Chains A and B, each alone.
Chain A
Amino acid sequence: MEVETVLKILTLLIGFYMAWNIGANDVSNAMGTSVGSGALTLRRAVILAAILEFSGAYFVGANVSETVQHGLIDTSLFVSQPLVLILGMCGALFGTGIWLQIASYFGWPVSTTHAIVGAIIGFGWAIGGVDAVRWSEIGTIVSSWIISPLIAGVISFIIFSILQKKILFALDPSEATRKLLPYLVFIVLATFTLSLLFNGLKNLHLVLSFHKALLIAFLVGGLGFVIAHFLVRRRILFPELSPIPPSRHLPQTVISLEKAMKHLQRVHVASFDQTHEKVGKLLNEVQELSLTLKKETSFVERTSEYRSVEKMFIFLQILSACFVAFAHGANDVANAIGPVSAVLDIIDQGVLTQASPVPTWLLAFGGIGIVVGLATWGWRVIETVGKKITELTPTRGFSAEFGAATTILIASKLGLPISTTHCLVGAVLGVGLARGMRAINLNMIRDIILSWVITIPASAIVSIIAFYILKAIFIR
Chain B
Amino acid sequence: MINIARLFGKSPFAPLQNHMQKVALCMKKLSALFESLHKMDADKIEKLVTDLSQLEHEADLTKNDIRNHLPKSLFLPIDRAHFLEILSIQDSIADEAEAVGILLTLRPLEEFDNFHAGILALYEKNAEAFLSAKKIIEEIDELLESSFGGIEAEKVKAMVEQTAFMEHEADKMKRKFMKNLFAKGDSLSVPAFYLWAKLAENIGAISHISERLANRIRMILELK
Chain A residues near B9 (CB, 8 Å)? 439-441
Residues B2 and A294 in contact, CB atoms below 8 Å apart = no
Chain A residues near B78 (CB, 8 Å)? 435
Chain B residues near A437 (CB, 8 Å)? 8, 75, 77
Shortest CB–CB separation between residue B136 and chain A, in angstroms?
13
Chain A residues near B148 (CB, 8 Å)? 435
Chain A 32-76 against B: per-residue CB contact (8 Å), 1 yes, 0 no? 100000000000000000000000000000000000000000000
Which residue of A25, A169, A255, A388 is within 8 Å of B146 (Cβ)?
A: A169
Bound Cα distance from A173 to B151, whole angstroms: 9
B7: nearest chain-A partner, CB-CB? A444
Q: Label chain A's interface by main secondary structure.
A: helix
Residues B6 and A306 in contact, CB atoms below 8 Å apart = no
Which residue of B4, B75, B150, B153 is within 8 Å of A32 (Cβ)?
A: B4
Check B120 for interface membership: any CB of A closer than 8 A: no
Given A302-B151, A303-B155, A389-B8: A110 and B2 within 8 A (CB)? Answer: yes
Bound Cα distance from A440 to B75, whole angstroms: 5
Those of A415-433 within 8 Å (CB) of chain B: 419, 421-422, 424-425, 428-429, 432
Chain B residues near A310 (CB, 8 Å)? 145
Which residue of A26, A164, A441 is within 8 Å of B149 (Cβ)?
A: A164
Check B12 for interface membership: any CB of A closer than 8 A: yes
Residues A103 and B77 in contact, CB atoms below 8 Å apart = no
Residues A436 and B1 in contact, CB atoms below 8 Å apart = no
Chain B residues near A170 (CB, 8 Å)? 150-151
Check A4 for interface membership: any CB of B closer than 8 A: no
Shortest CB–CB separation between residue B3 and chain A, in angstroms?
6
Residues B147 and A442 in contact, CB atoms below 8 Å apart = no
Residues A255 and B154 in contact, CB atoms below 8 Å apart = yes
Shortest CB–CB separation between residue B141 and chain A, in angstroms?
10
Chain A residues near B12 (CB, 8 Å)? 439
Residues A389 and B147 in contact, CB atoms below 8 Å apart = no
Chain B residues near A424 (CB, 8 Å)? 4
Residues B2 and A251 in contact, CB atoms below 8 Å apart = no
Bound Cα distance from A48 to B74, whole angstroms: 34
Shortest CB–CB separation between residue A469 and chain B, in angstroms?
25
Residues A438 and B11 in contact, CB atoms below 8 Å apart = yes
Which residue of B2, B144, B153 is within 8 Å of A109 (Cβ)?
A: B2
Shortest CB–CB separation between residue B107 and chain A, in angstroms?
45
Bound Cα distance from A434 to B146, whole angstroms: 11
Bound Cα distance from A429 to B9, whole angstroms: 12
Which residue of A171, A384, A391, A442 is within 8 Å of B73 (Cβ)?
A: A442
Check B76 for interface membership: any CB of A closer than 8 A: yes
Shortest CB–CB separation between residue B78 and chain A, in angstroms?
8
Which residue of B3, B4, B152 is within 8 Å of A428 (Cβ)?
A: B4
Residues A103 and B1 in contact, CB atoms below 8 Å apart = yes
Chain A 300-325 against B: per-residue CB contact (8 Å), 1 yes, 0 no? 10110111001000000000000000
Residues B11 and A447 in contact, CB atoms below 8 Å apart = no
Shortest CB–CB separation between residue A170 and chain B, in angstroms?
6
Bound Cα distance from A302 to B145, whole angstroms: 13
Check A349 for interface membership: any CB of B closer than 8 A: no
Chain A residues near B8 (CB, 8 Å)? 388-389, 391-392, 437, 439-441
Check B201 for interface membership: any CB of A closer than 8 A: no
Given A306-B146, A389-B8, A439-B8: A28 and B3 within 8 A (CB)? Answer: yes
Bound Cα distance from A343 to B97, whole angstroms: 76
Which residue of A299, A305, A391, A435 is within 8 Å of B147 (Cβ)?
A: A435
Chain B residues near A346 (CB, 8 Å)? none
Residues A294 and B74 in contact, CB atoms below 8 Å apart = no
Which residue of B7, B73, B77, B142 is within 8 Å of A303 (Cβ)?
A: B142
Bound Cα distance from A296 to B77, whole angstroms: 32
Bound Cα distance from A275 to B137, whole angstroms: 41
Chain A residues near B38 (CB, 8 Å)? none
A442: nearest chain-B partner, CB-CB? B73
Which residue of B76, B149, B158 is within 8 Å of A438 (Cβ)?
A: B76
Residues B147 and A168 in contact, CB atoms below 8 Å apart = yes
Those of A94-118 within 8 Å (CB) of chain B: 100, 103-104, 109-112
A421: nearest chain-B partner, CB-CB? B2
B148: nearest chain-A partner, CB-CB? A435
Check A7 for interface membership: any CB of B closer than 8 A: no
Check B5 for interface membership: any CB of A closer than 8 A: yes
Those of A423-476 within 8 Å (CB) of chain B: 424-425, 428-429, 432, 434-444, 446-448, 451
Could you list which residues of chain B lie within 8 angstroms of chain A, going by C-beta atoms?
1-13, 73-78, 142, 144-155, 158, 222, 224
20 more A-B residue pairs beyond the given contacts A302-B155, A385-B4, A439-B75, with a C-beta to C-beta distance below 8 A: A25-B1, A28-B3, A100-B1, A169-B150, A169-B222, A255-B154, A306-B146, A381-B3, A388-B5, A389-B8, A419-B2, A435-B147, A437-B75, A438-B13, A438-B77, A439-B8, A439-B9, A441-B74, A444-B6, A446-B73
Could you list which residues of chain A lie within 8 angstroms of chain B, going by C-beta atoms?
25-26, 28-29, 32, 100, 103-104, 109-112, 164, 168-171, 173, 251, 255, 294, 299-300, 302-303, 305-307, 310, 381, 384-385, 388-389, 391-393, 419, 421-422, 424-425, 428-429, 432, 434-444, 446-448, 451
